[in-house]
Structure 1
Amino acid sequence: MKLAVVGGGSTYTPELIDGFARLRDTLPVGELVLIDPAAERLELIGGLARRIFARQGHPGLITTTSDLDAGVEGADAVLIQLRVGGQAARLQDETWPLECGCVGQETTGAGGLAKALRTVPVVLDIAERVRRASPDAWIIDFTNPVGIVTRALLKAGHKAVGLCNVAIGFQRRFAALLDLAPADIHLDHVGLNHLTWELGVRRGGPDGEDLLPRLLADHGEAIAGDLRLPPALLDRLGVVPSYYLRYFYAHDEVVRELATKPSRAAEVAAMERELLALYGDPALDEKPELLARRGGAFYSEAAVDLAASLLGGGNGGGPAVQVVNTFNNGTLPFLPDDAVVEVQARVDGSGPRPLAVPALDPLYSGLVSHVTAYEDLALDAALRGGRERVFRALLAHPLVGQADRAEGLTDRLLAHNKEHLPWA
């Protein structure tokens, strides 16, 4: 089995390598190709990856290349985890929206739109080259904004599934609080990427006992602390929102916070410099503890499970249930079929098939519909360009919604992204 990782020079990659090494019985990788244009950085991470495999006794071959076409040739699955413009672009995404009184965040609001505009054309080009080199390969997208990028891939006819680590993070957290094995926890996880709610926490499977009321009664304060939301709000909702919902439920508070502290991008950039220095140590043969602070917790487990299911190895060779991003196809009846939702799905070699989900309260379905409309306009802007399309997407976003604010954000977005948007 051959896997390729586009963006293999990411500081995330050792987390992924560690998962491949530990879970080799689930996903027997024979060849792993790390692909990245940053050759020096790629060699640092490639060297660490080989040492991790060697330490854990994994027999697979790890190679590195800056040649995308050669790297993906013959691959069974291609994972895409890239950041167009790097941390410098992220820093801009987190900064200029604050000038207009809007949240500065890399996937949510105006910053998220900027990232989508930069990213969608690049990922679509990569996907076309994958299709030419390996027409049967699955594309697993971990590149944000995952919902918009996955929708672009699927609408272009690619064999693609979007993946996020929010759900598996909740699963692991809830399992620990309930003193259960993670495999015993099934989430009624419903919504869009970075806009989801846990409507149920079930023991054993989709039809199991719902433990959510007990979880909130016994551990609501701790969960609210993790989310940085008031415990009383969780009591009133009776569900667990994704931590990205704080940008909606406490937007103005978040804006005030972001205006008075260093950006997450600056923190991550400093962390990446430290990580790269560690990765260059020839004695290091395991992922360092610092990597846990970089983000992407449990990404490797989720990626391994998804790839194994798509390639015929999930759950001992059968289909597996996992949270993925895929076409709606009636799952949420109030959305178009070609919207991309993030829900539990049964995954096998034919792809994901969403499970039935509980009916959404209008409190949630209204916001999902609103953000879906924004994502539709955002994708149109990413595919066709144009200032007016950018303005329309921003005006439609529930965190913007005012014409003068959308104008100011449009001007700033285009000014800060000219080098990545040829049409700007």
Structure 2
Amino acid sequence: MALKVVVIGGGSSYTPEIIEGLIKRHSSFPVTEIVLVDIEAGKEKLQIIGELSKRMIEKSGKSINLSWTLDRRKALQGADFVSTQIRVGGLEARAKDERIPLSHGFIGQETNGAGGIFKAFRTIPVLMELAADIHQICPDAWMINFTNPAGIITEALLKHSQHDKVIGVCNIPYNMRHSTAEILHVAPEEVDIQFVGMNHFVFGRRVFVSGIDRTQEVLEKLKQGLDYSPANIVNLGWSSTFIDALGLLPNPYHQYYYQTEEVLKKDIKAFEENGTRAEKVQELERSLFKLYTNPDLHDKPKELEERGGAFYSDVACSLMDSIYNNKKDIQTVNTRNNGAIPDLPNDAVIEVNSVITKNGPKPLVVGPLPSSIKGMVTHMKAFEEQVIQAGISGSYNDAYIAMLMNPLMQDEKGSKLVLDELLEAHKAFLPQFN
């Protein structure tokens, strides 16, 4: 039986991880065809990734037909799963997302703050068009989105596109689970973390190891400087007061909101001395693609794990496997709330443990938000809704309010200044505002 996976953004440096994940799961997820898709600007990278992927498949001995193309609509014909990993405007756009806010004294992180807002603005129209194509050409296909900001993008698609088979994934819960397993000296498969919140604003409520609650032990380790940050975030550690009062496991992105001043100082210093994170990633990308062109390379190189989004693809492959096999296992995904967190609207997208079935994720009931995070989570969800509204409407006022609501901005004059500069800098990728 045919089983087709289409990778949108196939020229991404992360694609070898998807190929590795599909090869690894071939006995349970017997994909017969993989099509890598990109745009004209990514043609050269797509060719390099295509050739490497072909070598990886040949080495595996698996019977998988691989091709790559710039014709998205043709690629989508007969697709069962469509994964999305795009960056509208490329790393040059990311550099502007980081550089412009920092030049005015605001954090310029690419998925939080002003940078995250504009990444959403650039991405929403493109993925809305893709969702329309999927709905028309392969309406039964599942769209697995790990394009950031994953929660905002997934909610925009579920609310405003016709295609409702959309699930968002992130590597942060994966990182938290694996790092927690490492500090407890157990296998990751033994660790179960009860997650509550939203993408890049998710908390661990309880940690169980083989059914035994070890939450307090992990919180004590956090006070000692446990680091479960991805490669793109430098861990600053947490104070005992913060951990004791919160009573929850924060995720690495929380430092932007709870340690804002310290992060800003660190980012400005790094910006002045070495440039933005985007510029470092550009260097890493160049070295990765140099590796990828080696005809003797037949595996995903270890160096890929230096990218902040490492393991996104593995999470996506596990999700596709579980849907295909109706495994009914539990995975942490971005999906509609549907009452799991009663403090948030039913149609809001949350990041939560869900039972994965052939009909998609069924979120596990979390219950009311703990009082220590309720205010921040509800504010962040209102902010995300405002970003989506602006990304769809193209209204300047909607965009300004989104900027003003962002906890990393919240400055009347500064919000306008940064908004205006970013609108001008990204004009070519913001059709809804033009």
If the TM-score is normalised by the length of the shorter chain, which range does it land in?
A: over 0.9
Q: 1:190 to 1:351 in 2, by over 3 A?
A: same
Q: 1:225 to 1:86 in 2, by over 3 A?
A: closer
How many Å apart are 1:363 and its aligned residue? 2.3
Q: 1:237 to 1:9 in 2, by over 3 A?
A: same
Q: Does 1:84 align with 2:88?
A: yes
Structure 2 distance, partners of 1:128, 1:310, is 22
Q: Tell me, what secondary structure is at the counterpart of 2:114? A: helix
Q: Does 1:229 align with 2:209?
A: no
| 1:53 corresponds to | 57
How many Å apart are 1:48 and its aligned residue? 0.6
| 1:344 corresponds to | 353
How many Å apart are 1:358 and its aligned residue? 5.0
Residue 269 of structure 2, aligned match among 260, 268, 281: 260
Q: How does 1:1-400 map to 2 (within 5 A)?
A: 1-37=3-39, 38-155=42-159, 156-158=161-163, 159-204=165-210, 208-218=211-221, 220-223=223-226, 226=229, 227-232=235-240, 233-261=242-270, 262-311=275-324, 313=325, 317-357=326-366, 359-400=368-409
Letter aligned with residue 323 of structure 1: T
Q: Is the 8 A contact 2:17 2:314 kept in 1?
A: no
Structure 1 distance, partners of 2:313, 2:396, is 38
The share of aligned pairs that are identical, in percent, is 39
Query: Could you tell which deviates more after superposition, 74-83 or 389-398?
Result: 389-398
How many Å apart are 1:222 and its aligned residue? 3.8
Structure 1, gaps ≥5 residues long: none
How many Å apart are 1:218 and its aligned residue? 4.6
Q: Tell me, what secondary structure is at the counterpart of 2:86? A: coil
Q: Is the 8 A contact 2:21 2:317 kept in 1?
A: yes
Letter aligned with residue 237 of structure 2: L
TM-score (normalised: structure 1): 0.95
Letter aligned with residue 330 of structure 1: G
Structure 1 distance, partners of 2:185, 2:423, is 49
How many Å apart are 1:347 and its aligned residue? 1.1
Structure 2, gaps ≥5 residues long: 230-234
How many Å apart are 1:17 and its aligned residue? 1.1
Q: 1:183 to 1:111 in 2, by over 3 A?
A: same
Q: Tell me, what secondary structure is at the counterpart of 1:223? A: coil
TM-score (normalised: structure 2): 0.93
Spell out, residue by residue over 1:27-67, the C-alpha distance to the aligned partner (whole angstroms, 9 max, x if none). Answer: 21111111112222111001111111222222211111110
How many Å apart are 1:408 and its aligned residue? 1.4
Structure 2 distance, partners of 1:10, 1:376, is 28
Spell out, residue by residue over 1:239-281, the C-alpha distance to the aligned partner (whole angstroms, 9 max, x if none). Answer: 2211110000111111111112121100100110111111111
Please identify runs of 4+ aligned residues in structure 1 that moved more than 6 A: none
Structure 1 distance, partners of 2:330, 2:250, is 21
Q: Tell me, what secondary structure is at the counterpart of 1:380? A: helix
Spell out, residue by residue over 1:346-368, the C-alpha distance to the aligned partner (whole angstroms, 9 max, x if none). Answer: 11111111101154222211111
Spell out, residue by residue over 1:294-333, the C-alpha distance to the aligned partner (whole angstroms, 9 max, x if none). Answer: 122322331121111222x2xxx52121000011121111
Q: Is the 8 A contact 2:228 2:252 kept in 1?
A: no
Q: Is the 8 A contact 1:18 1:300 kept in 2?
A: no
Q: Does 1:413 align with 2:422?
A: yes
Q: Tell me, what secondary structure is at the counterpart of 1:260? A: helix
Query: Could you tell which deviates more after superposition, 264-273 or 91-100?
Result: 91-100
Letter aligned with residue 423 of structure 2: L
Q: 1:58 to 1:235 in 2, by over 3 A?
A: farther
Query: Could you tell which deviates more after superposition, 232-241 or 111-120?
Result: 232-241
Q: Tell me, what secondary structure is at the counterpart of 1:16? A: helix
Query: Could you tell which deviates more after superposition, 162-171 or 394-403?
Result: 394-403
Structure 2 distance, partners of 1:218, 1:380, is 40
Letter aligned with residue 215 of structure 2: L
Q: Is the 8 A contact 2:400 2:415 kept in 1?
A: yes
Q: Is the 8 A contact 2:154 2:166 kept in 1?
A: yes
Letter aligned with residue 96 of structure 2: Q
Q: Tell me, what secondary structure is at the counterpart of 1:259? A: helix
Structure 2 distance, partners of 1:107, 1:218, is 27
Letter aligned with residue 17 of structure 2: E
Structure 2 distance, partners of 1:375, 1:246, is 19
How many Å apart are 1:220 and its aligned residue? 4.2
